[in-house]
Amino acid sequence: MTRAAPDPRQTLDPDRVAEWLARHPDFFVGREGLLQQLKVPHPETRGATSLLERLVHDLRARAEQAEWRLEQLLESARFNEGQYRRTRELILALLEAEDNDALGQALATQLAENFHTPAVALWCPASLTDAEPHPPQAPRQVLDDHAGQRLAALLDGRPSRCTRLTPTDWKRLLPHVPAPAKAGSCAVARLTLGEPLGYLVLASPDPDHFRASMDTLFTDYVGEVVARLLVRMAPASS
């Protein structure tokens, strides 16, 4: 005898079935055989697979995603730890400098070795250097009107900024370092401690080393430390 087709009016609404199962998560307890009969769409190929196989696939995908996120967190932690160690070495080297020339040389050495910044200039007004027995040594430079105007133009009203650096600007602002044939990039920070104290310039021949979208928190921090040490080590004027 042929079984009659179910009356459409008596067919269960799939949404109501899903709602009911959500309210009764223990429905399949003791009905494991039913789980093996259920078929669901395969996530990668056309066709269907068993519910258990689909659950295993989903759990494996979640595990891989969690592993990837953990690796990203570990990579970020390793980078931050390395950045902290390099910054610590930089600050300790600056604190150990005995005079402003040693300060500038320590700054240039540390930035080149630990931060891949091959060129540094420290522009200070004559008021910070005219009482010294000898002219400043590179990377320190005596700030004049021309350099001051160009540095202010690069900052464009901001306390610090990352931007492109043309070969002409390189020759003017980093005269102690050979200029590249093409435009590079730089990070410029204004040094202040109650009053203007000059400018810090970090430069690279790589045009993408200091991108305009980069954060200047590190440059600001180094500039604040350098400004305080410059004032502390400046010889008293007679």
Give the CATH number for residue 87.
3.30.450.40
Dihedral sign (CA 121, 124, 125, 127): negative
pLDDT score recorded for residue 158: 93
* pLDDT at 130 (0 to 100): 77
Is there a domain that residue 171 lies in? Answer: yes
Q: What pLDDT is stored for residue 190 in this prediction?
A: 96
Instruction: Specify if 4 maps to a domain.
Output: no
Nearest Cα neighbor of 102 from 238, 207, 226, 237 is 226
Instruction: State the chain's mean pLDDT as an integer.
Output: 86
Q: How many domains does the chain have?
A: 1
User: Mean pLDDT, to the nearest integer, of 203-225?
Assistant: 94
The tens digit of pLDDT for each residue in 104-152 reads: 999 999 999 999 999 999 999 988 887 788 889 999 999 999 999 999 9
Residue 121 tokens, joined:
């200039």
Lowest mean pLDDT among 22-36, 103-117, 118-132, 217-231: 22-36
Average pLDDT over residues 50-57: 69
Residue 132, pLDDT score: 80
Query: Does residue 198 fall inside a structural domain?
Result: yes
- Average pLDDT score over residue span 97-104: 93
Three-state DSSP at 120 gives strand
Does the residue 33 lie in any domain? no
181 assigned to some structural domain: yes
**In the block, residue with structure tokens 């269960």:** 12
Closest CA to 184 of 170, 200, 173: 170
pLDDT(32) > 80:
no
Q: Is residue 82 part of a domain?
A: yes
The pLDDT > 70 percentage for the chain reads 85
Q: Are 52 and 36 a contacting pair, CB within 8 Å?
A: yes
**Parent domain of 168:** 71-233
Whether the predicted pLDDT of 224 surpasses 80: yes
Q: Does residue 18 surpass a pLDDT of 90?
A: no
Sort strands 119-125 and 140-143 into parallel, antiparallel or unpaired.
parallel
The answer to whether residue 166 sits within a structural domain is: yes
Task: Render pLDDT for 137-150 as a digit per residue (tens, 0 to 9).
Answer: 999 999 999 999 99
Is there a domain that residue 164 lies in?
yes
